[in-house]
């Protein structure tokens, strides 16, 4: 199969573009030789800078630099954590506007497009200028508005977007390739630059379905801050000053902290040298990996707790494999903690920062073979087909026993069969609220009662409660909730 296609992973701190050639996906380096492009945009003399040039501006002109673009898309200003932004954010009727030192005003979607323009140049250098089919990854819980904006930005940059794929699914697709995966349950742990997610997915006959999903504001930026505090304390102690009073110095320290974190992923010691950090004095410090792991211990505990939140609710499920994704999963201690949580599972940890882009490229290649898989048709050239998801958890209560049947944001349609404990009445709940009650058939000692639940794409529910011994059954139809 010779067709060449592309996959894009657009993260909060970095973006990657991968190409799939002859069935093999690989990330492409940009003109600077870097395999990732920082999702940072800076404004300088009427020109928008992206990637490394924009990162350098965070020290020189922080008020003209914006980062975390992904979190600003399709959001209201009052719901955005802007504490890390030095530039001014204003709100427009349709989107957030970035005010660059009162010199220029740019919408977040226009800034996002400039990052995609950068990725397009990288892709064209690898494949030549052509509209190769492209798949873009998105967060699992993305709103329809976010999906439409990210797709529009990519198309405006010249990409032929044939589909959008959830990040966690892309990670599994990358490892599975063209082979039908074995049936079982997979946990995908994504720890990125500023956020993390834990997804429990079921694999059945080559189909992926989400059982549970959790998102937290925990990421590698916390590691950077921990290293930065150590460097500042060390510098202050040696020079009897307070470097925190200078914002430019803090920006330099955070850049050095990121570099040290990356180096400690592969080496035992990292040198941190910053010329003229404060009042002409240089920072010269060494950080060992054991010391680094001590500094980030609280952050590691938060990552561990988030994973346990998900798996503790599904003790009866056997996890066959764990997929690691996100740049922060390259930290050895993070991999070690996850390995300890899943001692009997296969840990897949190769290139965690790149596998989402490679999985998206593999998905694009699959669409090339089977065009019907694409969400883009001739009548939907500018639209996006959103996968319907369950609006809340669905639980079953029999007596004092409560069992989660379906997790929030599970793709629909969905079917499940489960045995019911002893009791007279079954209560079906959505988001903790009762939506239906039914009597449980069967009273014989040999009775074995089961629940057959089917949630349709419109979120309506068909439930059948059956006694396999007497063949007695009760059927319940639950209409879709308003607004679903």
How confident is the model over 124-141, as pLDDT tens digits? 887 776 778 999 999 998
pLDDT value at residue 381: 38
Reported confidence tier of residue 387, pLDDT bands at 50, 70, 90: low
For 167-180, what is the mean pLDDT?
85
Range scoring the smallest mean pLDDT among 152-156, 314-318, 336-340, 388-392: 388-392
Reported confidence tier of residue 312, pLDDT bands at 50, 70, 90: very high
pLDDT value at residue 448: 75
Reported confidence tier of residue 442, pLDDT bands at 50, 70, 90: low
For 19-42, what is the mean pLDDT?
90
Tokens in use for 12? 């909060």
- Most confidently modeled of 315-319, 327-331, 391-395? 327-331
Q: What percent of the chain has pLDDT over 90?
A: 52
Phi, psi of 190 (to 5 degrees): -115, 120
Question: Is 121's pLDDT higher than 70?
Answer: yes
Tokens in use for 347? 């840990």
Q: What percent of the chain has pLDDT over 70?
A: 89
Reported confidence tier of residue 93, pLDDT bands at 50, 70, 90: low
Question: Is 449's pLDDT higher than 90?
Answer: no
Reported confidence tier of residue 278, pLDDT bands at 50, 70, 90: very high
Question: Is 38's pLDDT higher than 60?
Answer: yes
pLDDT value at residue 81: 67
Range scoring the smallest mean pLDDT among 148-157, 288-297, 451-460: 451-460
Higher pLDDT, 221 or 444: 221
For 161-173, what is the mean pLDDT?
94
Which residues are registered as beta bridge partners of 25?
A: 20
- Picking from 436, 437, 425, 430, the residue whose alpha carbon sits closest to that of residue 401 is 425
pLDDT value at residue 385: 42
Higher pLDDT, 408 or 244: 244
Tokens in use for 441? 């058939």
Tokens in use for 404? 């989660």
Burial of 381 (0-12, 13-18, 19+ CB in 10 A): exposed
pLDDT value at residue 1: 39
CA 47 to chain centre: 30
pLDDT value at residue 427: 83
pLDDT value at residue 444: 59
Question: Is 437's pLDDT higher than 60?
Answer: yes
* Size of the chain, expressed as the number of residues it contains: 484
Q: For residues 248, 253, 256 and 258, what is the CA-based torsion angle, rounded to 10 degrees? A: -100
pLDDT value at residue 102: 73
Mean pLDDT, the chain, integer: 86
Phi, psi of 224 (to 5 degrees): -60, -45
pLDDT value at residue 227: 97
3-state secondary structure the chain: CCCCEEEEEECCCEEEEEEEECCEEEECCCCCCCCCEECCEEEECCEEEECHHHHHHHHHCHHHEECCHHHHCCCCHHHCCCCCCCCEEEECCCCEEEEECCCEEEEHHHHHHHHHHHHHHHHHHHHCCCCCEEEEEECCCCCHHHHHHHHHHHHHCCCEEEEEEEHHHHHHHHHHCCCCCCCEEEEEEEECCCCEEEEEEEEECCEEEEEEEEEECCCHHHHHHHHHHHHHHHHHHHHCCCHHHCHHHHHHHHHHHHHHHHHCCCCCEEEEEEEEEECCEEEEEEEEHHHHHHHCHHHHHHHHHHHHHHHHHHCCCCEEEEEEECHHHHCHHHHHHHHHHCCCCEEECCCCCCHHHHHHHHHHHHHHHCHHHCCCCHHHCCCCCCCCECCCCEEEEECCEEEEEECCCCECCEEEEEECCCCCEEEEEECCEEEEEEECCCCCCCCCEEEEEEECCCCCEEEEEEECCCCCEEEEEECCCCCC
Burial of 32 (0-12, 13-18, 19+ CB in 10 A): exposed
Question: Is 265's pLDDT higher than 80?
Answer: yes
């Amino acid at each position: 199969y010779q067709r060449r296609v592309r996959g894009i992973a657009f993260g909060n701190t970095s973006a990657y573009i991968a190409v799939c050639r002859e069935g093999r996906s690989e990330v492409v380096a940009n003109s600077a030789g870097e395999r990732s492009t920082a999702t940072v945009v800076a404004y300088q003399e009427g020109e928008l800078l992206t990637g490394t040039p924009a990162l350098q501006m965070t020290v020189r002109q922080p008020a003209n630099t914006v980062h975390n673009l992904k979190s600003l898309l399709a959001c209201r200003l009052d719901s955005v954590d802007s504490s890390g932004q030095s530039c001014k954010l204003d709100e427009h009727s349709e989107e957030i506007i970035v005010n660059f030192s009162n010199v220029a005003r740019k919408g977040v979607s226009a800034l996002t497009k400039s990052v995609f323009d950068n990725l397009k140049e990288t892709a064209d250098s690898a494949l030549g200028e052509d509209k190769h089919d492209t798949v873009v990854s998105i967060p699992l819980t993305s709103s329809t508005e976010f999906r439409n904006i990210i797709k529009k930005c990519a198309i405006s940059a010249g990409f032929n977007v044939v589909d959008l794929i959830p990040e966690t699914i892309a990670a599994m697709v990358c490892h599975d390739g063209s082979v039908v995966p074995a049936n079982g349950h997979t946990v995908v742990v994504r720890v990125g630059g500023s956020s993390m997610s834990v997804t429990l997915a079921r694999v059945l006959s080559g189909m992926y379905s989400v059982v549970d999903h959790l998102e937290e504001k925990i990421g590698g930026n916390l590691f950077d801050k921990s290293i930065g505090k150590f460097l500042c304390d060390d510098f202050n102690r040696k020079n009897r000053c307070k470097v925190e009073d200078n914002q430019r110095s803090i920006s330099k320290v955070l850049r050095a902290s990121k570099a040290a974190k990356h180096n400690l992923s592969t080496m035992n010691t990292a040198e941190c040298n910053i010329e003229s950090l404060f009042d002409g004095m240089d920072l010269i410090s060494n950080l060992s990996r054991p010391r680094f792991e001590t500094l980030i211990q609280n952050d590691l505990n938060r990552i561990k707790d988030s994973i346990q939140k998900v798996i503790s609710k599904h003790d009866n499920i056997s996890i066959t494999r764990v997929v690691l994704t996100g740049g922060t999963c390259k930290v050895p201690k993070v991999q070690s903690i996850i390995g300890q949580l899943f001692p009997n599972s296969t840990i897949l940890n190769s290139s965690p920062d790149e596998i989402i882009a490679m999985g998206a490229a593999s998905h694009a290649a699959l669409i090339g073979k089977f065009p019907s898989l694409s969400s883009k048709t001739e009548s939907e050239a500018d639209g996006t087909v959103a996968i319907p998801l369950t609006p809340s958890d669905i639980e079953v209560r029999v007596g004092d026993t409560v069992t989660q049947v379906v997790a929030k944001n599970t793709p629909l349609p969905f079917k499940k069969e489960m045995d019911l404990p002893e009791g007279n009445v079954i209560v079906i709940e959505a988001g903790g609220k009762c939506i239906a009650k039914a009597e449980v058939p069967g009273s014989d000692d040999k009775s074995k009662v089961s629940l057959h639940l089917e949630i349709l794409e419109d979120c309506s529910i068909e439930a059948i409660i059956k006694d396999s011994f007497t063949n007695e059954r009760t059927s319940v139809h639950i209409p879709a909730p308003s607004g679903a």
